Structure 1
Amino acid sequence: MSPQICLQKPEFELVEEIERGVWTAVKAGDARAGRFLARRINIFDGACDAAAATRSLQDGERRALWLTHLLYGFGQAAVIARIFNHENIVSLAGHIQQQPPVGGADGEQETTAIDGFLVWDFCDAATLSALFLNRPCKSAAYYLPESLCWHVLRALTRAVTYLHDGKRLAVDADGGGSDGPRRTTMDKDWNPILHRAIEPDNIFFQHPRGAETYGLCKLGNFGTAAVTGHVLGPGDGYGQEDWPCSVAVSTQRGWEALEATRPKVARDPERWTADKRPYTLSDELWSVGNVLFNMMTGRKLTYVCRPYGCAHVTKCREGGCLEKAAAADACDCLLGGCHHVPEAACTHDVSDWDRSRDPRCEQPVINIDSYLAKARYSHWLRGVVKGMLEFDPKSKLLTTKALPVAKTVEEQFQLWREDTKEGQDYVDLDDDGVRK
């Protein structure tokens, strides 16, 4: 028997249907809260997936029906909304069951049958990939403004720290105090979540609502996210005392039993197919670094390409010979790519994953150290991004918690703000909130 579905007074009101089954919505009685996006449950991914896989569409509709029962009949909507509730992820703002209005023959609105809707944040300023398309890169030495790079970097590390560690950034009303922003634990039994698709298509923006330089940046599209079932150890993440049991792990794609995945961690990835290789927080942070590298240089890193399986990422065996040569020339410049940096290319290319190049592959091989040394960005930003891209899939030196990385990002960001004109002109959402 289907569970009884009880209708309550809706928290949101549908305003305008912008595409089939998708509406703009506002909070009932609170227009100042801004606009939200309401998506009808019966067009959710179950039906789309069923059609794409040439299965019965009725199977997808049946999944959507069970999603409705799960949300309303079994009371899980509040639980899901509690998880998807962070300023830097596309959050689930609520759920409603409502009769959507339709235009009548006389121009007046009529109502149809009752539908269920999930109400999400409305990211009205498109995605990072749309920004890339609208603003072509003219030079690998400089692409997007450093202030925007920091804005996206901080948003992504905050989102990853929340999803993986269950910790949220808290800013005091006095500006954070002498120790800066605090991290508050949301749930001591938090199960780490790995997004597994941190890429420009899934990074969304909202327009500024006040004096801040940029609107909120949010990580979205959790269709491939994995809830790992781990409970993090008591350590702070700086050591490896909780290795390997509390290392949150999934596969690169798809799903697999934990007892089958965990033995693969820090082993040669060549032993498994691409989809069944382990995926940990280190992979997640590498993806964040890749996004920032793309914003700085206009170049997207491909660790292992499809379909040939070539390695396309290298680094300097000497730890960055171009920067070392600049330092030997008494360089104390703020930005990379100064006259102290040699124009010659690095000759010490080495890959953490030594895979022979297929002659049919046309993708370029990118030396991370060379590109970052020549990038016209501050050494604080370049250093953080380089650290995120230091990832060896065979190493046991995996990052077990996101919090230390997030703290480093915040510390380096504050140095950039204090010591550069661009940083001093930058207005953060936290600044604007404190001013108000």
Structure 2
Amino acid sequence: MAPQNDYTTSEFELLEETGQGTLFAIKKDDPGLKYIAQPFGILNGSDVEGTDKQKTIDEASAFYTLFHSSKVGSAIAQIFNHENIISIAGYIKTHPVAPVSERARLEEYIVWDYCDASNLSALFQSKPCESAKFYLPESLCWHVLTSLLSAITYLHDGKRLFLDTEAAAGEATKIWASVDQDWLPILHRAMEPRNIFFQQPRGIETYGMCKLGNFEHAVVTNHVITPNAEDVTDKDVEPTLNTDSYLVKSQYSDELKDTVRYLLDFRTGSDTHINSVLPTTMAVMEQYQQWKLHSEEGKLYKDIEDDMAARCGAKTNMETHS
């Protein structure tokens, strides 16, 4: 039965069911972008199937309790609030359509980002690797890498890019800044292809947004995490996999090869530990910008920033000529 939205409580409008116990939703002022509305009604088990039904209900109940806590709820909303994380987009209260003789009960929904272009695992399955020299387009490699590092920097360091309000007029400069001085590092602990999702592009960008999802294994820490013994080796011991032999043969840019070596170096030293993700992210972003400026593919590639710049330019032109 289709729900009837309570327009006084939400900027979203519910659409049809997805067939998975959730509904599609849209913003009233931007109907071209779909979201997923997760009903709290799932707690009664009416829409839950499978052998882990009780586990799903218990987890949903725990999330419901946390989300409605005045302190914890706001913290959850802040954590799931990043362009490279499947985030909470809003909240809906609605009355379902019911016969006049029945009292319509209030239903609640959390509105999440909808990733309508599947995940990285599906992409791997659809494009089997046939050569160690070249697999996916380099632009896609950079897109996924920079998106994930941006998400990890936010989760671990509590930092994200903001427009620099003190920059000179006409210079759209971005700086890394903290969102909360009391931020505690969050470890995702399941950085796997099946948890890396994509949205369809909405403008001139080559690829849509890349987002990290599935936080069921995530933990919040209050100390710096160092690798376990089984995750590191002595500095004098070479990694089991000789990655250099693969990198030399590959047909990717020097910037990407150097970035891969740089990231793999974190796993080869016995005293490796990470106090902050940001320096790594900034180093990779610098390599990405060099690739984008100096390679033929990079010059043709359009990222989200290019799309935003084009939209702002179009808006400025319209305002100038109005």
Distance, in Å, in 2 between the alignment partners of 1:50 and 1:393 is 42
Could you say which residue in structure 2 is the equivalent of 1:386?
Answer: 261
- Please point out which of 185, 195, 209 is paired with 2:188: 195
Could you say which residue in structure 1 is the equivalent of 2:22?
Answer: 22
Distance, in Å, in 1 between the alignment partners of 2:56 and 2:132 is 45
Could you say which residue in structure 2 is the equivalent of 1:43?
Answer: 42
The letter for the 2-side match of 1:35 is: K
Q: Does 1:77 align with 2:81?
A: no
The letter for the 1-side match of 2:37 is: A
Could you say which residue in structure 1 is the equivalent of 2:137?
Answer: 145
Distance, in Å, in 2 between the alignment partners of 1:430 and 1:134 is 28
The letter for the 2-side match of 1:159 is: A
With over 3 angstroms needed to count, the CA separation of the structure-2 counterparts of 1:417 and 1:427, relative to structure 1, is same
With over 3 angstroms needed to count, the CA separation of the structure-2 counterparts of 1:268 and 1:86, relative to structure 1, is closer
Secondary structure of the structure 1 residue equivalent to 2:108 = strand
Contact 1:146-1:377 at 8 Å conserved across structures? yes
The letter for the 2-side match of 1:136 is: P
Indicate the structure (1 or 2) with the bigger Cα radius of gyration. Answer: 1
Could you say which residue in structure 2 is the equivalent of 1:97?
Answer: 93
With over 3 angstroms needed to count, the CA separation of the structure-2 counterparts of 1:268 and 1:200, relative to structure 1, is closer
Distance, in Å, in 1 between the alignment partners of 2:269 and 2:288 is 31
Of all paired residues, the percent bearing the same amino acid is 44
Contact 2:21-2:48 at 8 Å conserved across structures? no
Could you say which residue in structure 2 is the equivalent of 1:210?
Answer: 203
Contact 1:161-1:406 at 8 Å conserved across structures? yes
For residues 19-418 of structure 1, what are the structure 2 equivalents within 5 Å? 19-27=19-27, 29-32=28-31, 34-43=33-42, 52=52, 57=54, 61=57, 64-72=60-68, 74=70, 76-100=72-96, 113-171=105-163, 174=170, 176-177=172-173, 181-230=174-223, 247=224, 249=225, 265=226, 268-269=229-230, 351-352=238-239, 366-392=241-267, 395-418=270-293
Distance, in Å, in 1 between the alignment partners of 2:97 and 2:129 is 45
Contact 1:98-1:115 at 8 Å conserved across structures? yes
How much has 1:62 moved relative to structure 2? 5.5
The letter for the 2-side match of 1:148 is: L
Distance, in Å, in 2 between the alignment partners of 1:40 and 1:111 is 19
Contact 1:212-1:428 at 8 Å conserved across structures? yes
Could you say which residue in structure 2 is the equivalent of 1:294?
Answer: none
How much has 1:68 moved relative to structure 2? 2.9
With over 3 angstroms needed to count, the CA separation of the structure-2 counterparts of 1:174 and 1:60, relative to structure 1, is same
Contact 1:39-1:117 at 8 Å conserved across structures? yes
Distance, in Å, in 2 between the alignment partners of 1:155 and 1:207 is 15
Secondary structure of the structure 2 residue equivalent to 1:390 = helix
How much has 1:416 moved relative to structure 2? 0.6
Contact 2:155-2:185 at 8 Å conserved across structures? yes
Could you say which residue in structure 2 is the equivalent of 1:424?
Answer: 299
Distance, in Å, in 2 between the alignment partners of 1:160 and 1:401 is 10
How much has 1:50 moved relative to structure 2? 11
How much has 1:21 moved relative to structure 2? 1.7
Aligned length: 296
1:151-178: CA deviations, max 9, x gaps? 111101101101111110235695655x
Q: Structure 1 stretches of 5 or more lacking a match? A: 1-6, 105-109, 231-246, 250-264, 270-276, 278-282, 284-310, 318-349, 353-364
Contact 1:126-1:206 at 8 Å conserved across structures? yes
Could you say which residue in structure 1 is the equivalent of 2:316?
Answer: none
Instruction: Give me the CA root mean square deviation.
Output: 3.3
How much has 1:33 moved relative to structure 2? 6.5
Distance, in Å, in 2 between the alignment partners of 1:131 and 1:403 is 28
With over 3 angstroms needed to count, the CA separation of the structure-2 counterparts of 1:126 and 1:112, relative to structure 1, is farther
Taking structure 1 as the reference length, what is the TM-score of the superposition?
Answer: 0.61
